[in-house]
Structure 1
Amino acid sequence: MQHYIYGFLMSMVLAYLVTPFVMKLSWKIGAIDVPTDTRRVHKKPMPRLGGLAIYISFVVVGLITLPLNLPYVQGIFLGATIIVIVGILDDIYDLPAKVKLLGQIAAAVVLLLFGIKVQLITNPLGGMILLGKLAIPATLFWVVGITNTLNFIDGLDGLAAGIAGIAAFTMMLVNLSLEQANGALIMALLAGAAIGFLPYNFNPAKIFMGDTGAMFLGFVLAAQAIEGAVKSATAIALIVPILALGLPIFDTAYAILRRFVNGKPLMQADKGHVHHRLMAIGLSQKQAVLYMYVISISLGICSVVLAMIGIKQAAAVFALVIFMLLVSVRYINITVEAKKSTHGM
């Protein structure tokens, strides 16, 4: 256990020490987020290359502590590097969405080349379902989807970094319970890097993680979720990361559905995310972020417990969590609309 604690602490301390240098670099190369619309919460230009500090700490400590001869470790490192390069370019030049998507697909293809793919899932009715040729599109869909969920939710100071840290810590505990030592260490390093960056990113933020950080964190979480599921070959291993990342996954799915129903482009930003709704009913930035931390921690605890039970209990609890999220969002929407009507009068 000391091995994981040391890895976590090393990654956290390094991220904390490197971030000030990345802040200076952001200003120097023009990786700045300038608020140009009402959707953005911040009111002044902010450096947004913080994800580079998270990546550097993860890679440096990983090179010291991880077995680099393992293909799946190599695949995660190479794919993550591609994601970070795309993120840096986007944080400087604001790349078109199609270009970012191509970069994400390229990183996912790297995982496939190194043997990291969704090969099978457990049938709740019994037995295993081999995906065969569907393994490639399933892997691409999973990696690109999870990579973008954190990007979608990265709208308040400290929100994406905190939720990614909670999810990584949750998956570390689950990997330990499944006796997946390398997976647990990768998640320990990721959690440490995200939390080490958080003091500079929590409200009032001094730096944003940008697409560099959001995509990197999402990519590594997605990749490790696949590897953990392949090694354990159980439905629990797939449900756990879904629950651990339940909040950003739900928020992203709801955003896509909302935009589709309203006839708007799926990638068009709006103020309908859960964190925007929480602020609309009167919560401050800090309160909204802490509220969403609590939800993520609750889902994380659920994930750890589920990993020690079974598929039937997992399905029941997962359905209950989804129901509670739907009720919560519905309540927030009603409150927002009521507040608008009151102001309109």
Structure 2
Amino acid sequence: MPSWLHPQSHWFVLAVATLVALSATPVVRALAVRLGVVARPTARSMHRVPVPHVGGLAIFAGFVAAVAVSLGWEDRDVVAVLLGGVVMLAVGLADDLWDLPPLVKLAGQVAAALTAVAAGVRIEVLTNPLGLFTASGADDLLVLGAWGVPLTVLWIVAVSNVINLIDGLDGLAAGIASIAALTVLVAALQTGQPMEVVLLMAALAGSTLGFLPYNFNPAKIFMGDTGALFIGYTLATVSVVGLLKSAAAVALAVPIMVLALPIADTALAILRRLQAGRPVMAADRDHLHHRLIRMGFSHRDAVLVMYLITAWLALGAVAVAEGNLLQGLLIVVTLAASVHLVARKLLEWNRQRPRRLGN
């Protein structure tokens, strides 16, 4: 039997998750239409017709099916990830169905994170390149002790919301999540992280890729908070598992780098709302993807631009996983400079566009 057909091959897991999500998505869509679970256009919506949502259920189905055939339910870390994932999925589903108040939604996200922490997913040490404040005999590690619990909860809730907030255009969150999961998978292989990290990321990448054909513009179904929160939660918790098993700084550095675009978008949104005296969780139409649309990009082109930037950041993250600290810093600086250059060129194009149209 070819190696890629082995149940614990990441290629096999990727294929199973993709096929299950691809098959489950039209079923979930039909059920959502029948039950009237649709996202209706609002003043801040980018779509103009009602679109079924809760597509995250298909993503979850693909993920769980792939995990079941490859890892089973005996591994403690896998069970921990899934327990909190079910809670996070329920929070997202409840929000999609009943539009939960922001504080209730946040409390649910914290509960999901605490479920994972209680089951053993916890940031216990961080790489400390300066060697400060470390325990005896751990010159390169910063031992967190009790601080690991709130830090882990903050990390899980933050990444979950980063993916949720970027889910503003057809296919945007699913595509970025696919790139991020594949990047973490490659980095885990490079750095010798446990096979469960590799397989969990393969399951997540496959389930989002299987969902994407139905979600790309024009979307036939949205993932909703059901999918976005679950995806962000899974990226966050599996990264922590990688850190637990290998104590490799790249376990957290890689997802931070590859998600730099939605992280920056979230940070700007928070600052923007604070400056305006508005609630931090209040929605608006001033995210990066909205700005690209206003600059004249089509819906699809705006998504593809953000895919390309994320893919470029992913290449940098993979390079960082292979290199040392100095190489990593050089790559980060190069990436920042290139993204800044692209942003400037886009702004220049936007300023010149009216003149070109007038000629």
1:181 equivalent to 2:195? Answer: yes
Q: Choose from 172, 176, 192 the match for 2:185.
A: 172
State whether residues 108 and 140 of structure 1, in contact with CA within 8 Å, keep that contact through their aligned partners in structure 2: yes
Task: Give the partner amino acid of 2:162.
Answer: T
Counterpart of 2:14 in structure 1 is 8
Q: Compared with structure 1, are the counterparts of its residues 272 and 6 closer, same or farther at alpha carbon in structure 2 (3 Å cutoff)?
A: same
The answer for the alignment partner of 1:343 in structure 2 is: none
1:247 matched to 2:264? The reply is: no
In 1, Cα distance between equivalents of 2:237 and 2:223: 20
Deviations 1:133-191 (A, max 9, x none): 21111101100000000110000000000000010011111111122211001000100
2:178/2:204 contact within 8 Å kept? yes
Q: Do structure 1's residue 77 and structure 2's residue 82 form an aligned pair?
A: yes
TM-score w.r.t. structure 2 length? 0.90
Please report the TM-score for the alignment, with normalisation by the length of structure 1: 0.93
Cα offset, 1:236, TM superposition: 2.5
Q: Give the drift of 1:331.
A: 6.4
Q: Secondary structure at the match of 1:305?
A: helix
User: Residue 140 in 1 paired to residue 146 in 2?
Assistant: no
The one-letter amino acid of 1:154's match is D
Gaps of 5+ in 2: 132-139, 355-359
Give matches, 1:231-242, under 5 Å. 231-242=245-256
Aligned residues: 342
The separation in 2 between residues aligned to 1:129 and 1:337, in whole angstroms, is 48
Letter in 2 for 1:163: I
Opposite residue 47 of structure 1, the aligned amino acid is P
The aligned amino acid for 1:41 is M
CA deviations 1:66-89 (Å, max 9, x no partner) are: 142121100111111111111111
2:322 counterpart SS class: coil
Which one of 318, 322, 339 corresponds to residue 308 of structure 1? 322
Q: Which residue of 2 aligns with 1:200?
A: 214
- In 1, Cα distance between equivalents of 2:239 and 2:195: 14
Matched, 1:163 2:168: no
**Distance in 2 separating the partners of 1:134 and 1:20:** 44
| Aligned equivalents of 1:138, 1:184: Cα separation in 2 | 23
Q: In the alignment, which residue of structure 2 is the partner of 1:280?
A: 294
Residue 83 of structure 2 contacts residue 115 of structure 2 at CA under 8 Å; is this kept in 1? yes
Contact 2:191–2:322, Cα closer than 8 Å, also in 1? no
Residues 5-56 of structure 1, C-alpha deviation per residue, up to 9 Å, x if partnerless?
A: 111011101101111110011123332111121x211001111111000001
Give the aligned residue type for 2:221. Answer: I
Is the aligned partner of 1:154 residue 2:167? yes
What SS class does the counterpart of residue 207 from structure 1 fall into?
coil
For the aligned residues, what is the CA RMSD?
A: 2.1
String of CA shifts for 1:245-270, please: whole Å, max 9, x gaps. Answer: 12111111111122222222111111
Residues 124-139 of structure 1 mapped to structure 2, 5 A cutoff: 124-126=129-131, 127-139=140-152
Corresponding residue number in structure 2 for 1:30: 36
Report the more deviating stretch, 245-254 or 278-287.
Answer: 245-254
Does the 8 Å CA contact 1:277/1:333 hold for their aligned counterparts? no
Q: 1:272 to 1:332 in 2, by over 3 A?
A: farther
Aligned equivalents of 2:58, 2:344: Cα separation in 1: 37
Partner of 2:53: 48
Tell me which structure has the larger Cα radius of gyration: 2
The aligned counterpart of 2:357 is: none
Flag the 1:324–1:133 CA change in 2: closer, same or farther, 3 A: farther
Query: 2:212, 2:202 → 1: CA distance?
Result: 15
2:102 pairs with 1:97: yes
In the TM superposition, residue 209 of structure 1 has moved relative to its aligned partner by 0.4
Q: 1:216 maps to which residue? A: 230
Which residue type is aligned with residue 12 of structure 1? T
